[in-house]
Amino acid sequence: MQDVIAIVMAAGKGTRMKSKKSKLVHKIYGKEIIKRAVENVKKAGIDDVIVVVGYQKEQIEEVLGNSVQYAIQEEQLGTGHAVKKAAGLLEGKKGKVLILNGDHPIMRPETLKRLVEESNRKNESATILTMVHDAIIPYGKIIHDEEGRIEEIVEHKDCNEEQLKIKEVNLGMYCFDIEELLNSLKLLNNDNAQKEYYLTDVIKIMYDKGLKTGSIVVSDNAEVLGVNDRMDLEVLTKALQIRINTEHMKNGVTIEDVNNTYIYDDVEIGIDTIIHPNTTIKSGVVIGEDCEIGPNAYIREGCKLENKVKIGSFVEVKKAVVGEGAKVPHLSYMGDCEIGAKTNIGCGTITCNYDGFHKSKTVIGEHSFIGSNTNLIAPVTLGKNTFVAAGSTITDDVPNDSLAIARQRQINKEGWNKK
């Protein structure tokens, strides 16, 4: 979206997390809250992002690096104060600014896009994203006038008894006309329950000036929740889990138990693959069609599984490229490896990929059979059509079409146990 700038507020303390870290660097499915928030904005088509940092700003800067511009808010005097600190970067610009709380990490980019588009279409100076929630939650309440315009947002802590019952609440996502916002920010005061400069007061200022203010109500409340404490963190993780799993099911993947399957972002899974319960699949993994995964499988980063692969129970795979029809059915760790097509990895096989200093690679050719309880001491290469006897510890390469036995021969001492 051209001419749209975004400001993400990320300077607050987040005391309710009871953490040594900034709330915004806590992770959901391996990715920091603030990183998710910024990515959602970028996916909505806005590249120009300003992040307001203050409390533990180094932690946030470490996560975001130079993917954004920063504004510094040394003292946390409220969301209105935070935006004021970014105002310098807006000066002289025209068009719209999207402002977001940094603590709402699972927003759909399409929703943010819609907020800006609707704001433009309706020609409003301020458009607020809201939700209608039956229970009383500690979010700002939206007050409409008879014509449907928004008169003001009253913070939960400033509400009277009547206002507390209002079901439409503020989500901390706004689209403003830049010039009008800059004018209104100058008029903010901190005359309220928390003695803070509330960004939400800008609405009242604009309304009193006769400017157009409105809201867009979200259709899915689960996507817009914020993280204030650890319970929220759990709720949002669940919501994201169900969203991702549902997406895969819609695309033709069978998931036996959506509540006990953990698929991180950006995973590709082919149709007719079946995922059994208690499976975790990390970001970036690619899985083909007709595969069978789990139960109790852990598919870590860097894995690529071709079609018809089976990864069974209590199997961990990491940076493993597994060829078509290959099987790792039970109790194995296969890390930093290539497994050829149609190869069978016996129960209890382990790639010994780490010597305490370096990670090394194991390559196993196609149509091979690795006997149970084999240790593969990497770096090591096994050719095509090889056969490894059960219980072997393989330290040397195995040529194509060979049998490798690497274990002590058995001795039977007859009568020994009678003595």
Would you name the residues annotated as active-site residues? 330
From CA 297, how far away is CA 96, in angstroms rounded?
47
- Amino acid 173 reads M
Measuring CA to CA, which residue among 362, 360, 356, 411 is closest to residue 386?
362
Phi/psi of residue 35, nearest 5 degrees: -65, -40
Q: What is the largest CA-CA distance in the chain?
A: 104
Q: Where are the beta strands (DSSP E) in 64-211?
A: 69-72, 96-101, 126-132, 141-144, 150-154, 168-177
For the bound state, the minimum distance from the C-beta of residue 3 to ligand UD1, rounded and expressed in Å, comes to 24
Q: Which of residues 272-331 bind ligand UD1 (CB under 6 A)?
A: none
CB of 43 to Ca ion, least distance (A): 22
Binder to ligand UD1 among 129, 153, 293, 370 (CB under 6 A)? 153
The verdict on whether omega for the bond into residue 295 sits within 30 degrees of 0, i.e. cis, is yes
Q: Is 169 in the site for ligand UD1 (CB under 6 A)?
A: yes
Which tokens belong to 402? 């060979």
CB 313 to Ca ion: min, Å:
41
With CB under 5 to 8 Å by kind, the binding choice for 264 among Ca ion, ligand UD1, none is none
Q: Which does residue 170 bind out of ligand UD1, Ca ion, none, counting CB within 5 to 8 angstroms by kind?
A: ligand UD1
Mind giving me the DSSP string for 7-53? EEEE----GGG--SS-GGG-EETTEEHHHHHHHHHHHTT--EEEEEE
State yes or no: residue 166 binds ligand UD1 (CB under 6 A).
no
CA distances for 71 relative to 53, 64, 216, 392, angstroms: 6, 13, 28, 60
| Closer by beta carbon to Ca ion, 137 or else 405 | 137
Q: Which of 338, 346, 348 is nearest to 382 (CA)?
A: 338
Report, in Å, the least distance between residue 199 CB and ligand UD1: 5
Site string for ligand UD1, 27-66 (x = CB under 6 A): -------------------------x--------------
What residue has token string 């830049």?
178
Residue 192 CB, nearest approach to ligand UD1 (Å): 9
Given ligand UD1, Ca ion, none, residue 326, with its beta carbon under 5 to 8 Å by kind, binds none
Q: Catalog residues that contact Ca ion under the rule CB under 5 A.
A: 103, 226
Which residues 340-379 are close enough to bind ligand UD1 by CB under 6 A? Answer: none
Choice from 155, 292, 306, 316 touching ligand UD1 (CB under 6 A)? 155
Q: How many residues bind ligand UD1 (CB under 6 A)?
A: 27
Residues near ligand UD1 (CB under 6 A) are 9-12, 52, 73, 76-79, 81-82, 101-103, 139-140, 153, 155, 169-172, 198-200, 226
